[in-house]
Amino acid sequence: MLTKNSRIKEIYANPIGRDIINRVLLQMKISKKAINNPIIGNLKIKDLPKLLKNRLDDEFIDVLLNLSNTEKEIVRADEGPIKKAWWKEAVFYQIYPRSFKDSNGDGIGDLQGIISKLDYIKKLGIDAIWLSPIYDSPNDDNGYDIRDYKKIMDEFGTMEDFDQLLDEVHNRGMGLIMDLVVNHTSDEHQWYQRAISEPDSKYGDYYIFKDQPNNWTSIFGGSAWNYVEERNQYALHLFSKKQMDLNWENENLRAEIHDMIRWWLEKGVDGFRLDVINYISKSHGIPDGSESIGKVMGLYGMEHYFYGPNLHRYLRELKEKVFMPYNAFTVGETPGIGMEMSKLLTAEDRNELDMVFSFDHLETPGHYKFDDYRYDLNYLKKYMIDLMENYGNCCHPSLFFENHDNPRMISKINPDPQYRNVLGKLLAVILLTLRGTPFIYQGQELGMINQDFKTIEDLRDVESLNLYRELTKSMDKDKAFKKVLAGSRDHARTPMQWEDQEYAGFSTGKPWIMMDHDYKNCNVDAQLNDEDSIFNFYQKLIALRKEHNVIPYGDVIFTNKMVKNLFTYYRKDENEILYVEINLSPNKKKRAKLPEGERLLSNYEVVSLSHLQPYEASIWKIK
């Protein structure tokens, strides 16, 4: 049992303690090396607030100890060979249906539009598609507020359209995974409607109700509680006011969720991306959140649900009763989860999830999504070295830089247009040559960038709009808009840029969200016919990945670890050796000494044998 008299190094040896301390250090821009200092490591954990100049208090220590003491297991390093699986070799492509392709001119993407572009996805070299939610929804959060799990949203088409899509995907030798949203439903879902109208029925306990709200805040701003007049109680919503959290402690509810998932698996879907799946277990009694943690994180109560007490039990139950019988692939979205907790969720002998999406690499230390700053690729290098060297062979990492919830990565690194092409390729090399399963978000293969939104009226994202309203209470509207613009999810949600025509070939009607004129310079048609395009680079690199088994399964050996702006590593197995060399800077960088080999792929023709060009990335096969 860990106590306040336990040493910091003892807490750090615990997987939960390690991840929480690492997150605090990241937030405060303090190096992990500090913990490895014998003097600091031997201090008692009760001295940590003083060490951090009282930015955290004793209440934080209590939370840290409580969470750490819930987890006794540690995933041991497995140096044996990596077990083979189709999803470890696959390259996934995320489609955001509302913005991918419109087939009927109403300005909203749909299933028939996706079907019409499957050959394009196959041409890129994709093995499986992740489809963001297409279920019936009132669209408060663009489909992540589900009204009916077994019905298709009218704007997207019909169930017959979905069945056709699934057949067409499989006919092309690709897989399809659905977005599974089971932490919450829409307040228009029949379960919720019956929970408030029939509180004594079995549905009355399907959601989380309290007589009085606690201090938890919503991730989308404001209180996490809605007053429900029919029950004279408050209902929990961690996200928008129309996304009501399900009560996973209710066994009947879990059984209904299991049946719904089986229904989709019987249709033939190949697996699921599980939305905020680590939030499904809340601390019993829904206690107040820590004031000190809330102030640091800007969110109250998260310590009571980001790694809840029954999370592992619920996931094992899902695996045993639903996923395993269908050999379904699963990747969980897990905000707030660090590397050690990720291992506990994905280690193969634990039978929970196949992979998770962790987000610690998307922002540099001390920053969060709505900060306007330039992303330093040296942090990405440091993060990837840590991940590759410490994740182990019994766990498999996901690799991604973009999705529907984050701005475009090129814009975060360097918005100067002269570097757009090379940055797009640089990110492709990192994504597709490290060990892990790559996920490409629609338009990333073109090098799409953030949109030039002019006013708050251009935005549609509920998170962005809520934040803007909150910010304008304490700052002027222009400053508030600028801050929202730095991290708005809408940057990734504008229409796919297919051609240099009105509305970028996405639709014949006005799109549901504005788009600037970038499609005139960046579009599919132009890139298909340009040998030097980002698309063609992705296509070649995906093909290269499939040709070299060392990429999904081989060792990763890093060199030049301490050399700033130079990212170099070997991919090695018993059959071959590849060498990857990347300049992380917009300036020329002296080339590392190369062993004798053959250059397989580069952003450039060989301009100089002594210097890497700005942001250049190249791959060599070593003799």
For the annotated catalytic residues, the residue numbers are: 275, 333
Amino acid at position 12, single letter: Y
User: Which tokens in the block code for residue 508?
Assistant: 């014949």
Burial (Cβ within 10 Å: 0-12, 13-18, ≥19) of residue 562: exposed
Beta strands in 117-218 (DSSP E): 128-131, 135-136, 148-152, 175-180, 184-186, 209-210
Query: Could you give the C-alpha distances from 61 to 24, 55, 243, 295, in angstroms and in order?
Result: 12, 12, 32, 15
For residue 269, give the nearest of 382, 388, 152, 130 by alpha carbon: 130
Cα distance between residue 5 and residue 2, in whole Å: 8
Query: Which residues have C-beta within 8 Å of that of residue 415, sequence separation ≥ 6?
Result: 449, 450
What does the alpha-carbon distance between residue 545 and residue 570 come to, in Å, rounded to a whole number?
A: 14
What span, in angstroms and rounded, lies between the C-alpha atoms of 365 and 24? Answer: 10
- C-alpha 24/C-alpha 139 separation (Å) is 35
Phi, psi of 572 (to 5 degrees): -140, 135
* Residue with tokens 């995974």, as numbered in its chain: 177
d(CA 312, CA 72): 13
Yes or no: say if 453 and 459 are a contact pair by the CB < 8 Å rule. Answer: yes
Length of the chain: 623
The vertex-281 CA angle with 278 and 282, nearest 5°, equals 120
Q: Report the alpha-carbon distance of residue 409 to residue 449 in Å, rounded.
A: 8
Give the CA count within 13 Å in the CB-facing half-sphere of 499: 8
Strand partners, 589: 612
d(CA 294, CA 275): 23
Measure the N-to-C terminal CA separation of the chain; round to a whole number of Å: 53
Nearest to residue 420, comparing CAs of 454, 443, 404? 443
Strand partners, 135: 152
Q: Are 207 and 237 in contact, with CB atoms under 8 Å apart? A: no
* Cα 304 from Cα 288, distance rounded (Å): 9
Q: Say if residues 362 and 405 touch (Cβ distance below 8 Å).
A: no
| Positive or negative: CA dihedral 527, 532, 536, 542 | negative
Written as six digits, the tokens of 56 are 């955290």
What are the residues whose beta carbons fall under 8 Å from the beta carbon of 275, sequence distance 6 or more?
Answer: 144, 179, 180, 181, 182, 183, 333
Residue for token digits 């009916």?
148
Angle at the Cα of 526 from the Cα atoms of 523 and 527, rounded to 5 degrees? 80
- The answer to whether 286 and 210 are in contact (CB under 8 A) is yes
